Chain A
Amino acid sequence: MTTKNTAPILEKLTNSRLFYPLLALGIILLLDTIFIPDFFSIQIRNGDLYGRVIDIMRNASTVMVLALGMTLVIATGGIDLSVGGVMAIAASVAAIMMNPVIVGMELPADLMKFMNDPNFTYSPLWEVIIVSLIVALICGAWNGFLVAYMKIQPMVGTLILMIAGRGIAQLITNGVRIQIFYKPYAFLGQGWIILPISLYLAIILFVLIWMLTRKTSIGMFIESVGINPKASFYSGISEKKIKMLAYMICGLCAGIAGLIASSNIKTSDANNIGLTIELDAILAVVIGGTSMAGGRFSLLASLIGALVIQAITTSMYALGVPAFALQAVKGFVVIFVIFLYAEPVRQVFRKLTVKKAEKA
Chain B
Amino acid sequence: MRNKIAAFINKNRQFIPVMSTALLAVLAYTIGAIFYPGMRNPQVFFNIFRNNSFLLISAVGMTLVILTGGIDLSVSGMIALTTVSTAALLREGVDSWLVFLLMLLMGSLLGLIMGSIIAFLKVQPFIATLAGMWITRGLCFFISDDAISISNRTIEQISRIRIYIPGVTEAFEVAGKIPPYVSISVAVAFIIYISGIYISRYTRFGRTVYAIGGNEGRNEQSARLMGLPVTTTKVLVYTINGFCSGLAGIFFAVFVTSGHGLYATGLEMDVIASVVMGGTMLTGGSGYVFGTIFGVFILGLTQTLIQFNGSLSSWWTKVVIGVLTLIFIGVQSLLKQSKGGRRKGRALSGQALADHRKKRLITIGIIAGFAVMIGIILLAPKLGNQDGTQTTAQSGKCELQVFRQEQVPALIESGATIVYERNGGPNCVDELFAIYPDGRITGTNGKTDIEKQITIPDYELLLAGLVDNGWFTDELYDTWHTPCRQCYGYYLTVIKDGQVKTVKGVDGGTDAPAIYWQIISLVKGAVPKFDVSE
Where the two chains meet, the residues of A that have a C-beta atom closer than 8 Å to any C-beta of B are 79, 151-153, 155-156, 160, 163-164, 167, 279, 282, 286, 292-293, 322, 324-332, 334-335, 338-339, 342-345
Which of A152, A164, A322, A344 touches B145 (beta carbons < 8 Å)? Answer: A322
Give, as a whole number of angstroms, the nearest-CB distance from B313 to chain A. Answer: 10
Neighbouring A residues of B262 by C-beta, 8 Å: 324
CB pairs A–B below 8 angstroms (9 shown): A153-B329, A156-B329, A160-B326, A322-B145, A328-B135, A331-B132, A331-B133, A331-B138, A343-B122
Neighbouring A residues of B121 by C-beta, 8 Å: 338-339, 342-345
Q: Do the beta carbons of B134 and A331 come within 8 Å of each other?
A: yes
Neighbouring B residues of A322 by C-beta, 8 Å: 141, 145
Give, as a whole number of angstroms, the nearest-CB distance from B112 to chain A. Answer: 14
Give, as a whole number of angstroms, the nearest-CB distance from A69 to chain B. Answer: 18
Q: Do the beta carbons of A327 and B124 come within 8 Å of each other?
A: no
Where the two chains meet, the residues of B that have a C-beta atom closer than 8 Å to any C-beta of A are 71, 117, 120-124, 126-128, 130-142, 145, 261-262, 269, 282-283, 315, 318-319, 322, 326, 329-330, 333
Which of B128, B132, B133, B322 touches A164 (beta carbons < 8 Å)? Answer: B322
Q: Do the beta carbons of A338 and B131 come within 8 Å of each other?
A: yes
Q: Do the beta carbons of A324 and B141 come within 8 Å of each other?
A: yes
User: In whole angstroms, what is the CA distance A149 to B138 when docked?
Assistant: 39
User: In whole angstroms, what is the CA distance A325 to B131 when docked?
Assistant: 13
Q: Do the beta carbons of B282 and A328 come within 8 Å of each other?
A: no
Main secondary structure of the interface of B (DSSP, over half): helix
Neighbouring B residues of A344 by C-beta, 8 Å: 120-122
Of B124, B133, B138, most buried by chain A (CB within 10 Å of CB) is B138
Known contacts A334-B130, A335-B131: A293-B318 contact under CB 8 Å = no
Q: Do the beta carbons of A338 and B282 come within 8 Å of each other?
A: no
User: In whole angstroms, what is the CA distance A123 to B238 when docked?
Assistant: 54
Q: Do the beta carbons of B124 and A326 come within 8 Å of each other?
A: no
Q: Give B336's nearest chain A residue, CB to CB.
A: A151
User: In whole angstroms, what is the CA distance A157 to B532 when docked?
Assistant: 45
User: In whole angstroms, what is the CA distance A220 to B69 when docked?
Assistant: 29
Which of A167, A286, A327, A342 touches B138 (beta carbons < 8 Å)? Answer: A327
User: In whole angstroms, what is the CA distance A209 to B63 when docked?
Assistant: 40
Give, as a whole number of angstroms, the nearest-CB distance from B124 to chain A. Answer: 5
User: In whole angstroms, what is the CA distance A156 to B284 when docked?
Assistant: 14
User: In whole angstroms, what is the CA distance A332 to B142 when docked?
Assistant: 14
Q: Do the beta carbons of B122 and A342 come within 8 Å of each other?
A: yes
Given contacts A153-B282, A328-B135, A331-B133, 10 further A-B contacts (CB under 8 A): A153-B283, A155-B126, A163-B269, A167-B315, A292-B126, A322-B141, A324-B141, A330-B134, A339-B121, A344-B122
Q: Do the beta carbons of B134 and A327 come within 8 Å of each other?
A: yes
User: In whole angstroms, what is the CA distance A106 to B42 when docked?
Assistant: 53
User: In whole angstroms, what is the CA distance A329 to B141 when docked?
Assistant: 12
Known contacts A342-B121, A342-B123: A334-B131 contact under CB 8 Å = yes
Neighbouring A residues of B128 by C-beta, 8 Å: 335, 338
Q: Give A166's nearest chain B residue, CB to CB.
A: B315
Which of A152, A325, A326, A338 touches B127 (beta carbons < 8 Å)? Answer: A338
Which of A79, A156, A325 touches B142 (beta carbons < 8 Å)? Answer: A325
Q: Give B137's nearest chain A residue, CB to CB.
A: A327
Give, as a whole number of angstroms, the nearest-CB distance from B132 to chain A. Answer: 7
User: In whole angstroms, what is the CA distance A338 to B133 when docked?
Assistant: 15
User: In whole angstroms, what is the CA distance A274 to B530 when docked?
Assistant: 38
Neighbouring A residues of B133 by C-beta, 8 Å: 331
Q: Do the beta carbons of B127 and A286 come within 8 Å of each other?
A: yes
Neighbouring A residues of B330 by C-beta, 8 Å: 152
Neighbouring B residues of A160 by C-beta, 8 Å: 322, 326
Q: Give A151's nearest chain B residue, CB to CB.
A: B333
Of A153, A327, A332, A344, most buried by chain B (CB within 10 Å of CB) is A327
User: In whole angstroms, what is the CA distance A344 to B318 when docked?
Assistant: 41
Neighbouring B residues of A167 by C-beta, 8 Å: 315, 319
Which of B122, B134, B269, B333 touches A334 (beta carbons < 8 Å)? Answer: B134
User: In whole angstroms, what is the CA distance A338 to B333 when docked?
Assistant: 31
User: In whole angstroms, what is the CA distance A84 to B305 when docked?
Assistant: 30
Of A156, A331, A339, most buried by chain B (CB within 10 Å of CB) is A331
Q: Do the beta carbons of A338 and B322 come within 8 Å of each other?
A: no
Neighbouring A residues of B126 by C-beta, 8 Å: 79, 155, 292
User: In whole angstroms, what is the CA distance A327 to B330 when docked?
Assistant: 34
Which of B131, B319, B333 touches A152 (beta carbons < 8 Å)? Answer: B333
Give, as a whole number of angstroms, the nearest-CB distance from A245 to chain B. Answer: 23
Which of A151, A293, A329, A343 touches B124 (beta carbons < 8 Å)? Answer: A293
Give, as a whole number of angstroms, the nearest-CB distance from A302 to chain B. Answer: 15
Q: Give A153's nearest chain B residue, CB to CB.
A: B282
User: In whole angstroms, what is the CA distance A292 to B124 when docked?
Assistant: 7
Neighbouring A residues of B138 by C-beta, 8 Å: 324-331
User: In whole angstroms, what is the CA distance A322 to B123 when docked?
Assistant: 29
Q: Do the beta carbons of A332 and B322 come within 8 Å of each other?
A: no
User: In whole angstroms, what is the CA distance A327 to B318 when docked?
Assistant: 25
Q: Do the beta carbons of B282 and A156 come within 8 Å of each other?
A: yes
Q: Do the beta carbons of B127 and A334 come within 8 Å of each other?
A: yes
User: In whole angstroms, what is the CA distance A330 to B132 when docked?
Assistant: 10
User: In whole angstroms, what is the CA distance A343 to B121 when docked?
Assistant: 7
User: In whole angstroms, what is the CA distance A331 to B262 when docked?
Assistant: 17
Give, as a whole number of angstroms, the nearest-CB distance from B73 to chain A. Answer: 10
Known contacts A293-B124, A342-B121: A331-B131 contact under CB 8 Å = yes
Known contacts A152-B329, A330-B134: A335-B142 contact under CB 8 Å = no
Give, as a whole number of angstroms, the nearest-CB distance from A85 to chain B. Answer: 12
Q: Do the beta carbons of B333 and A163 come within 8 Å of each other?
A: no
User: In whole angstroms, what is the CA distance A325 to B144 when docked?
Assistant: 10
Neighbouring A residues of B124 by C-beta, 8 Å: 292-293
